[in-house]
Structure 1
């Protein structure tokens, strides 16, 4: 299941908070080579982990299996303050537009299917469900160019906002994705799973499997 927690809720749970920032460090610093984020404590934390951020946690077998963060575009976010060279022209903004950042799947949950793992597809279904509940129908994502085509195949309306750039070991393009109930139906069909993935409340105590 997927849990959507505001930053204050996440901080009330030290086990969840640590698991989130350890996973982000493992993926974005150690794996993707974003050395500007390197810290001696092995946690990836930035200025956008503010009170309006929403953290999506995919929990499997008592572990944090996947994560993504939603940032409102009505206040500074990655595309405006850090990755501005990815956008040609005005940055899309509004209460119905969020920026999806730090999408990450723990390595041992990347079994792979149609280009994304079951945890990854749960994260996708989850942000659509979350958006439909909260009045959000567009997200900005900075991802690899191949994902523009995959997004179109999932019935997102995908509009690149600029040219691709290299960050760390990754080619990145900023894209505005618009979605609706047809997008969710397509994602669920691809997952072969029709039930909602977004849960209420708080997950049980979780950890993060250490690399062997």
Structure 2
């Protein structure tokens, strides 16, 4: 199941979040070689890990095996403040648009080639389930352009916001990806079940997301 932790509740989940900070450091610093994120304590935390963020965590038993972070575009976010060169038009800012960042899955839970691992499917499904419940319908992604076809195949409607740029020796493209019930159905078909991926306590956090739409 996918657990949701609101930014202002991180202090109540210190043990779990310690796994998150170290997973992020392992993936983005050790693997991807994003040197600017290097931390002596091997914990990757930045200024966007604030009260407004929503953390989504995938577990295998007590171990965090996958993670992603959602940022509201009505507040400062990565595309607006760190990577504005990736957007050639007006920066997307709306209550129903959130930014998807820091997606990370441990090596043992990744799939090879074009396959979508079970953990990856559940993380994407969590965004769509949460979005359908709260009125969020679009995510902003800064990604390798090779993801474009995969997202379209998963029934996201993807619109590039500019051209590719090279960041940290990798091609990066900013996109808007719209989703609806068809996206969830496709993800469920691939996964082979229609059960919710969100844990029983997750929907109480939709109040926070709904408040951002008002």
Asked if Structure 1 and Structure 2 have the same fold, meaning a TM-score greater than 0.5 normalized by the shorter chain, the answer is yes
Partner of 1:72: 72
Q: Distance in 1 between matches of 2:80 and 2:200?
A: 31
In structure 2, stretches of 5+ residues that fail to align are 203-214
Kept in 2: contact 1:34–1:167 (CA 8 A): no
Aligned pairs for 1:176-191 (under 5 A) are 176-191=176-191
Tell me the SS of whatever aligns to 2:142.
strand
Q: Distance in 2 between matches of 1:26 and 1:201?
A: 28
Q: How many positions carry a matched residue from both structures?
A: 202
Q: Distance in 2 between matches of 1:142 and 1:159?
A: 12
Aligned pairs for 1:109-124 (under 5 A) are 109-112=109-112, 114-124=114-124
Structure having greater relative contact order (Cα 8 Å, sep ≥ 6): 1
CA deviations on 1:31-75 (whole Å, 9 max, x unpaired) are 111111111010101110010100000111221010000000001
Q: Distance in 1 between matches of 2:169 and 2:63?
A: 27
Q: Distance in 1 between matches of 2:193 and 2:34?
A: 34
Stretches (4+) displaced over 3 A: 111-114
In structure 1, stretches of 5+ residues that fail to align are 203-212
TM-score, normalised to structure 2, is 0.90
User: CA RMSD, aligned part only?
Assistant: 1.3
| Larger helix percent | 2
TM-score, normalised to structure 1, is 0.91
Kept in 1: contact 2:114–2:150 (CA 8 A): no
Aligned pairs for 1:1-212 (under 5 A) are 1-112=1-112, 114-201=114-201
Task: State the 1:5 CA deviation.
Answer: 1.0
